[in-house]
Structure 1
Amino acid sequence: MMSWRNLAWTALGGMTLLAGIGATWLLLLPAAPASGTAPAISRDETESTLAALKPPKRKRPLIAIVGINDMSETTDYLMPYGILARADIADVLTLSTQPGPVTLYPALKVQPHATIAEFDAAHPDGADYVIVPAMSRDDDATVLHWIRSQAGKGAIVIGVCVGATVVANTGLLDGKRATTHWYSVGDLKKHSTIRYAADRRLVVDQGIATTTGITASMPMALTLIEAIAGRAKAEAVAGVIGLARWDARHRSDAFSFTRPFALTAIANTLAFWKREQLGIALTPDVDEVSLALIADAWSRTYRSRALTFAATAEARTSRSGLRILPDRIAGSWPAEQAVPDSGASPPARALDETLRAIETRYGARTADFVAMQLEYPR
């Protein structure tokens, strides 16, 4: 029988081996992402993208943003809704696969306008555009069937971020060019006939559009506004949200799994005793785009989670008419654990202010770690 001493030495040897493998893996990771300038987008390519996104059916289009009820990505779901709804150039609805609220990831909970069954009953001819966010499951049979059915009725399907892998699993991307969040490019390439398009924040191919990471839903929404209502309208909305440009320009290799990214994820995960719950007051007419970006960013630090609070359990109606449910029933929140107020700033500026606040609270590496997850060029 093996003695306790031998068992201890065996365990120590195993841990030493694992530590060595881990250290080797970290050393093999790049020390920093690539630097450089994103390649320019030709005017012909921009015009082609806009032409491909023209409304396929109605003069005033119908846009459906669909999510599963358990963990659809926060910004992917809320930002297209908020930007497109305030543009007032289309009817925009948020949908869920089942009755009840949609719990977003990594933060917030909303009451969608309708279920997909209710939408189908009200609009048997389908949507003009279907926006697909990242979801906790990219193989949900109900949502895959519904997306395919909408495409069959002539809708343009837009996969935002890792929503591209959801669209890929419908088969609608087979034989087409596409992009997705940098972390999920490998998953997209598992579909052998999909052609990954690098250095593009937005790709459109035969009625299917895809985007890169989470914050790409901002330029995607503005591009859609331009396709529907023209450049002047898109510029007006861009001014309101604080974005100077929104073309498909992107440098893919500036976003990658680096050694600082891995070390920050490990260090912040292991520092579990320092984890915080940070409060955001949920007020009527809250800007759902800024709220999504702020809550998403703080909840991706691996050091904190953003929670909304309100004095009562009733949903608060956002600036563009979406009902958001508070996470906590509370009249106030400790000042030292309150999220710095950036909600009054235009959304793009609110994100920059949030990243600076994260840097102040947790350090530059954590701010860079969050920006990398959001695929946001700083």
Structure 2
Amino acid sequence: MLLKTFGWSFAVTVIGLALAGVLWGWKGLAIVGILSILEISLSFDNAVINAGILRKMNAFWQKIFLTFGILIAVFGMRLVFPVIIVAITAKMSPVEAVNLAINDKDRYEHLVTAAHPAIAAFGGIFLLMIFLDFIFEERDIKWLGWLEKPLAKLGKLETFSIVVALVALLIAATTVATDVAHGGGDKTATVLLAGVAGLVTYLIVGGISGYFEDKLEEDEEDDEDETAGAEDRGEDGGEAKGSSGARGSTGASVAGLAGKAAFFMFLYLEVIDASFSFDGVIGAFAITNDIFEMALGLGIGAMYIRSLTVFLVRRGTLDDYVYLEHGAHYAIGALAVILLATIKYEINEVITGLVGIVLIGASYWSSVVRNRREAAAGEGAEAKPEVTSGV
């Protein structure tokens, strides 16, 4: 199970580190290794969130996430995305941006860093919406009940999460964006525009995937009702065959809807991954400004996040440790706040990674305690009748 899930990650690690050693020597090998660890530590909560979404998708789309999705994550977000950002902000062609990244690494780093306010505002608001929609939703299982119960009541107000996100954006634009360290000057307009873009992106992609998912569930419920009705009427074999054919037709429709829902969920996953990767890409410049070392190191880390996501899905870890999703969403909320704060302030990536690890670790331990408590209660319930019958 472990080798099957992480086999490609292990292989990419060996090949990547060997390639780094050949191209850049021991120094390059060390840099790529450090970047890989940085990416894993920063994105562990990403794996938990991804697993919560990926388990709703069929095996085909899980494979797409692991193949095509990893190409987007490694080459798209870790290599192409910074180049595109430089091309847009510096108003140059992508070819010129690539040439700059190879031949003038210091200026390339400066331009990527200067674009950080817009990147942080977009990613921060997008991630904040994920956290808010989770925390304002009524749930049967609550981790921090004293906090989640009142917030769930507030969440009954429609668009409340959007209002909170916009208020957070306004606060960021009128405080940390007025005197920015990255690029210098007043970036209020830039932060407002990028933040609104992040909010709109979340509403569009999340709304479309949610629509198809709800439609799929409705069709499945209708199909089950039709089947139950046919069984209650005791239809004969010929009618049953016709009903089966109708169900097959409905099943095809459901499969089509599942495909659409899965497609938009896949897009949603990729946007989430993009938002998570912003801090890793920016933080990587503290270690190296070579885009190829950066892409290789962060790419290896992204492979492990993908494999860890599938591992969590296949092992049913989120079902066994019910507070993990809560911890991951709290980590997302913390990351969103940190991203918005980094518009002006320098926050070490170690702090960002530790916050996520601590929150997820705490939720994991709470899940273990809960499972032990329920197991002990179950054993006690079974033991009690035995003692009574013995008397």
Q: Same fold (TM over 0.5)?
A: no
Pick 1 or 2: higher relative contact order, CA cutoff 8 A, min separation 6: 2
In the superposition, the TM-score normalised over structure 1's length comes to 0.31
In the superposition, the TM-score normalised over structure 2's length comes to 0.30
Larger radius of gyration: 2
Query: Structure 1 or 2: larger helix share?
Result: 2
Query: Structure 1 or 2: larger strand share?
Result: 1
